[in-house]
Structure 1
Amino acid sequence: MGENQRIYFLATAVVGIILTGLAYFIWETITTSNIFEKGVNLYKQKDFASAEAKFRRVIERHRTNDMARLFLGNSLMAQNKLDEATPVFRELTERSPKNIDAYLRLGDALMKQNKLEEAIANLQKARELYKAPSPEQKQLEDLIEQIKLNTPTP
């Protein structure tokens, strides 16, 4: 086999490996996207247990999918699984520290668990993340004040 034939063979093998890898990643992305879409549809249908299972599968396949984490936490909250939802939202705030929804959901979960000081801290963080004054920011301020007023002092 001549030098040119070896180079051609090697180049063909490298291109084949790259195309195989690319095909795998495309297939994996499409499959994960389909699972996520099914989870969203189940969530909209209020089948929260089935939605939970789908979002867990998405996260298993794609660990960095923060939207799946948010939906997973929401699905858990809808099933009143607060002890499971709280760490999901907490992890989301750590992974995505500018995600307002993560802080809002974590604050909600903590309020429902009567962990009011921690809930207030997360709601304040959400309020701080709003770039400009907004109705949502004002609602958060009002909610924080209401929680403070209703929290017994030790």
Structure 2
Amino acid sequence: MRIVVGGDSAGEGLAQVLYEHLSQKEGLTVVDMSHPRSGDKELYSELSERVCLSIIDGEFDRGILCCGTGIGVCMSANKIPGIRAAQTHDTYSAERAALSNDAHIITMGARVIGAELAKVIADAWIMKSFDPKSASAKNVAGVDALGRKYGGRTGREDKLAC
């Protein structure tokens, strides 16, 4: 399995911990995309886009994004059509992200959880895989259908621009 990790300025340390942890596991290829090629500081939305596109393009199978809370990178990732990202701060939500939601990406907050818990969460997610014949398959298809239906919309700004 090919895994990409990335962290913004607040989540970079946790992303590095996860990179080092996952790199030691057999059968995993892990790359850290925390820094843009230009070396400039970037927004978490830019990091999320870069990681998500690497998954959509088939370069990686799954990804882990980290910021201060895990919220910003999760919201940003879910704006990319075709991506399903889930914020996880415990092993149960990580397992369900894989089993029930077929999440391409999990997100974590470096200011919310510690390094050891983050490692266990990542392990729990990686050990599980989605069964397209499961009871959750219709829900995942429904989420994807919403993405196709509303893909061009970005949020409330249309209503607020009066």
Q: Kindly indicate which of the two structures has a greater share of residues assigned to helix.
A: 1
Superposition TM-score, scaled by structure 1 size: 0.26
Superposition TM-score, scaled by structure 2 size: 0.25
Q: Kindly indicate which of the two structures has a greater share of residues assigned to strand.
A: 2
Larger radius of gyration: 1
Determine which structure has greater relative contact order: mean sequence separation of CA pairs < 8 Å that are 6+ residues apart, divided by chain length: 2
